[in-house]
């Protein structure tokens, strides 16, 4: 099969970029032909190209229509659906609130999937019965990349805060304070502190305890680190074998970050450190969340959709209505996206950035219909 994967960005090493990269590579290893399309290309795009996978920001560069579209993010997915009018698609939701992950309806999106229950609920609330049965496709990790570390020590000797959102003006100080009280040195890996790594698998084995969420947490668990769920949205719990199933269905993500990010909250979770239980969690990840098995599931889904799609006529009138509604819904949001970008740029001004940002946001809110600015 020839599978077109869409993603909003293929630049930095973050959530969906890594998912798109890993899935494309696994599909290629399985003997199929992945192509990845995004409007923003960068380091992840170059990494894929280095392995021989076609990456493009121009659909006209694809020499023949794909068999199926694996859609992340509504804008590149809609572009692909309209450019390849005979090709069916699936849609996979990765975020319960992000504007780029807003679910859309289009007749040739044959099935909808979500990485966790929060994303599934968003699809059902946004699209309703037309979405059909929305299945969970839980995140997976490349087990050949994230190899098992040596057994954990009885007490944690080094800790890592693994997130692009960790900065001195977000939640980094609270994590530092908790680790200082526990007598554990803390490092940070993420773009917020200029310490992002394109090869986190090389650094993770050096740490015993990792503060992370979602995909970062899953990668740390696969390596064998003990994990405490944590990010700018809040603090979560220490991951145990007993809570693994429930937490994975929530993608170790935002729905589990229900506690305030305070040193005393994090210190309580640090004190639950258990090397034997962390080893059991790691074994669960390595037996149930491998990338190769996930790719096999996707390929089986693609085949089923293509078999079913061949039996149905394409409803051009319904597609035209859906495309019209999409344009009407999202055209005005292009301006909002620009406004948010300008607000972010203001905040990066040295010394006076926060003040200028607050002033700028107040002005933008006065003329914008978007309450999230």
**Taking a C-beta distance cutoff of 8 angstroms, is the pair 98, 73 a contact?**
no
Tokens of 344: 């972010």
The CA distance from 257 to 280, in Å, is 22
* pLDDT value of residue 333: 58
Region 43-72: mean pLDDT is: 95
In three-state secondary structure terms, 181 is: helix
- The pLDDT tens digits of the residues spanning 246-264 come to 999 999 998 999 999 999 9
Q: Above 60 in pLDDT, residue 283?
A: yes
Global pTM reads 0.84
Please compute, for residue 260, the number of CA atoms within 13 A of its CA located in the half-sphere on the CB side.
3
The CA distance from 115 to 129, in Å, is 19
Sign of CA dihedral 196, 202, 208, 210: positive
**Taking a C-beta distance cutoff of 8 angstroms, is the pair 9, 40 a contact?**
yes
Cα separation of the two ends of the chain: 42
CA angle 59, 123, 324 (to 5 degrees): 50
The CA distance from 337 to 323, in Å, is 20
- Could you tell me which residues are beta bridge partners of residue 55? 36
* pLDDT value of residue 312: 86
Helix (H) or strand (E) holding 216: helix 214-223
* pLDDT value of residue 31: 96
Please state at what angle helix 15-29 crosses helix 43-50, rounded to 10 degrees. 10
- Could you tell me which residues are beta bridge partners of residue 111? 90
**Taking a C-beta distance cutoff of 8 angstroms, is the pair 204, 149 a contact?**
yes
* pLDDT value of residue 80: 97
Contacts 24+ apart (CB under 8 A), 52-57: 52/28, 53/24, 53/25, 53/28, 55/10
Q: Above 60 in pLDDT, residue 313?
A: yes
Integer angstrom CA distances of residue 56 from 14, 217, 335: 19, 30, 25
Taking alpha carbons only, the member of 21, 61, 56, 20 closest to residue 38 is 56
**Taking a C-beta distance cutoff of 8 angstroms, is the pair 179, 186 a contact?**
yes
Region 99-108: mean pLDDT is: 93
* pLDDT value of residue 338: 56
The CA distance from 98 to 229, in Å, is 20
Region 82-94: mean pLDDT is: 96
* pLDDT value of residue 356: 44
Region 270-279: mean pLDDT is: 97
Please compute, for residue 346, the number of CA atoms within 13 A of its CA located in the half-sphere on the CB side.
18
The CA distance from 332 to 7, in Å, is 21
Tokens of 113: 């999937």
């Amino acid at each position: 099969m020839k599978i077109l994967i869409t993603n909003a960005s293929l630049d930095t090493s973050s959530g969906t970029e890594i998912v798109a990269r890993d899935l494309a590579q696994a599909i290629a290893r399985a003997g199929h032909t992945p192509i990845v399309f995004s409007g923003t290309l960068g380091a992840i795009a170059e990494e894929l190209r280095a392995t021989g996978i076609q990456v493009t920001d121009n659909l006209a560069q694809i020499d023949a229509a794909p068999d199926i579209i694996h859609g992340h993010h509504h804008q590149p997915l809609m572009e692909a659906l309209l450019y390849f009018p005979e090709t069916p698609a699936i849609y996979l939701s990765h975020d319960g609130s992000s504007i780029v992950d807003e679910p859309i309806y289009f007749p040739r999106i044959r099935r909808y999937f979500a990485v966790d229950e929060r994303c599934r609920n968003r699809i059902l609330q946004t699209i309703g019965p037309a979405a059909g049965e929305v299945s969970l496709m839980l995140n997976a990790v490349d087990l050949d990349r994230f190899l098992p570390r040596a057994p954990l020590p009885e007490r944690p000797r080094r800790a890592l805060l693994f997130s692009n959102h960790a900065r001195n003006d977000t939640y980094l100080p609270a994590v530092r304070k908790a680790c200082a009280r526990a007598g554990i040195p803390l490092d940070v890996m993420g773009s917020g502190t200029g310490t992002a790594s394109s090869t986190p698998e090389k650094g993770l084995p050096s740490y015993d305890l990792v503060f992370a969420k979602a995909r970062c947490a899953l990668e740390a668990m696969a390596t064998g680190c003990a994990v405490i769920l944590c990010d700018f949205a809040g603090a979560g719990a220490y991951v145990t074998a007993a809570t693994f199933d429930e937490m994975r269905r929530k993608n170790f993500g935002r729905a589990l970050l229900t506690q305030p990010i305070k040193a005393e909250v994090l210190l309580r979770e640090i004190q639950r450190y258990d090397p034997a239980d962390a080893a059991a969690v790691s074994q669960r990840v390595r037996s149930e969340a491998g990338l190769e098995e996930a790719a096999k599931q996707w390929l089986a889904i693609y085949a089923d959709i293509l078999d079913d799609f061949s039996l149905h006529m394409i409803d051009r009138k319904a597609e035209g209505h859906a495309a019209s509604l999409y344009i009407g819904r999202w055209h005005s949001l292009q301006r909002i996206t620009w406004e948010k970008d300008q607000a972010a740029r203001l905040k990066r001004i040295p010394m006076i950035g926060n003040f200028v940002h607050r002033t700028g946001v107040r002005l933008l809110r006065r003329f914008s219909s978007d309450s999230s600015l």
